[in-house]
């Protein structure tokens, strides 16, 4: 088990946004959080690395309460990747090494080798290392964001709609990359997405969030072939 979420709720400005959420993730699984717009998927993801406070419940990462970790060490283990790649004006290498430099956890002498191997891992040519990141395509930038995330040697990637700004070809690249990271790095990946084709291609399990409640958690094939709840059936009928 990597993450254990026990009975958490989130209230924002007096509104109940997440209600008594419970689930666990396994090491090396892709868990897709799906659901209607405004159901609370991003809020839940943000709660997992303390970008959003919770009003009750507990969250443990590798057996430790995330509230007993410093936000810095938590966000090194549970790295968030967003819909729009947030790279700064600078080289691809600088962007990839940004997080590890902040944490002081890299060896300056072999930084180029580290950046090169990370770039290879995400399927980009190493000649891009010295390019200004802003000159890359959005799909390439998203892969640089992923390289920057895995440079931190995280246990969990928290991915919020990371393919929604991408064309189908780039989406396919990211899809393949996530599966490789799960397989080779044994990373746990929580992916918020509206792309049901992507979910069916890569998820191990699916969590369906409706109106702030996690109404169903099922293995992906079971969910799409035989959802166990009425809300699951209704959701699938709206996207068919
Ligand atoms: N900081 C905030 N202030 C006020 N309301 C908020 C805030 N953050 C989230 N909400 C509300 O919480 C609800 C859940 O939002 P959230 O973005 O988590 O949903 P979502 O399932 O990710 O939606 P989508 O699929 O459309 O991105 C929405 O009604 C949203 O307006």
Which one, of 52, 66, 56, lies nearest residue 12 by Cα?
Answer: 52
pLDDT at 82: 94
Is 121 touching ligand 1 by the criterion CB < 6 Å? no
Distance CA 88, CA 84 (A): 12
CA of 39 to the centre of ligand 1 (A): 7
Task: Count the neighbouring beta carbons within 10 Å of the beta carbon of residue 117.
Answer: 13
Confidence of residue 108 (pLDDT cuts 50, 70, 90): low
Residue 66, pLDDT > 90, answer yes
Strands of the 15-24 sheet, one edge to the other = 15-24, 3-12, 56-61, 64-65
Residue 51, pLDDT > 70, answer yes
CA of 210 to the centre of ligand 1 (A): 12
Is 188 touching ligand 1 by the criterion CB < 6 Å? no
Query: Do residues 139 and 173 lie in contact, with contact meaning Cβ atoms separated by under 8 Å?
Result: yes
Higher pLDDT, 215 or 109: 215
pLDDT at 111: 81
ipTM over cut 0.95: yes
Is 124 touching ligand 1 by the criterion CB < 6 Å? no
In CATH, the number for domain 3-84+155-239 is 3.40.50.300
Which one, of 163, 121, 175, 158, lies nearest residue 139 by Cα?
Answer: 163
Residue 110, CB-side half-sphere exposure with 13 Å CA sphere? 7
Q: Which of 19, 43, 211, 214 to mutate to test the pocket of ligand 1 (most atoms within 8 A of CB)?
A: 43
Which one, of 209, 213, 228, 185, lies nearest residue 33 by Cα?
Answer: 209
Residues 6+ apart with CB under 8 A from 44: 10, 18, 21, 33, 209
Distance CA 127, CA 116 (A): 9
pLDDT at 146: 94
Residue 104, pLDDT > 80, answer no
Distance CA 114, CA 33 (A): 32
pLDDT at 201: 96
CA of 155 to the centre of ligand 1 (A): 26
Distance CA 175, CA 224 (A): 19
Residue 195, pLDDT > 70, answer yes
Question: Which residue lies with its CA nearest to atom 31 of ligand 1?
Answer: 38
pLDDT at 239: 83
pLDDT at 135: 95
Tokens of 17: 């946004």
Query: Do residues 207 and 217 lie in contact, with contact meaning Cβ atoms separated by under 8 Å?
Result: yes
Higher pLDDT, 112 or 211: 211
pLDDT at 142: 93
Is 43 touching ligand 1 by the criterion CB < 6 Å? yes
Residue 122, pLDDT > 70, answer yes
Q: Which of 17, 191, 199 to mutate to test the pocket of ligand 1 (most atoms within 8 A of CB)?
A: 17
Is 195 touching ligand 1 by the criterion CB < 6 Å? no
């Amino acid at each position: 088990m990597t993450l254990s979420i026990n009975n958490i709720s989130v209230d924002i400005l007096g509104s109940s946004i997440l209600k008594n959420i419970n689930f666990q993730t396994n090491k090396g699984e892709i868990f897709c959080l799906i659901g209607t717009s405004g159901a609370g998927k991003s809020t839940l993801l943000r709660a997992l690395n303390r970008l959003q406070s919770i009003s009750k419940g507990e969250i443990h990462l590798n057996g430790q309460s995330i509230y007993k970790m410093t936000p810095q060490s938590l966000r090194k283990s549970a790295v968030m990747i967003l819909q729009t790649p947030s790279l700064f004006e600078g080289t691809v290498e600088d962007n990839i090494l940004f997080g590890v430099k902040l944490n002081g956890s890299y060896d300056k002498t072999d930084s180029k080798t580290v950046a090169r191997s990370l770039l290879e891992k995400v399927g980009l040519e190493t000649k891009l290392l010295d390019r200004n990141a802003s000159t890359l395509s959005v799909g390439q930038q998203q892969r640089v964001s992923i390289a920057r995330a895995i440079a931190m040697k995280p246990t969990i990637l928290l991915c919020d709609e990371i393919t929604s700004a991408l064309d189908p070809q780039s989406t396919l690249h990211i899809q393949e990359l996530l599966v490789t990271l799960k397989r080779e790095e044994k990373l746990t990946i929580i992916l918020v997405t509206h792309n049901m084709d992507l979910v069916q291609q890569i998820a191990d399990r699916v969590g369906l969030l409706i109106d702030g409640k996690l109404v169903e958690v099922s293995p992906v094939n079971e969910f799409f072939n035989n959802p166990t709840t009425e809300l699951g059936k209704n959701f699938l009928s709206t996207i068919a």
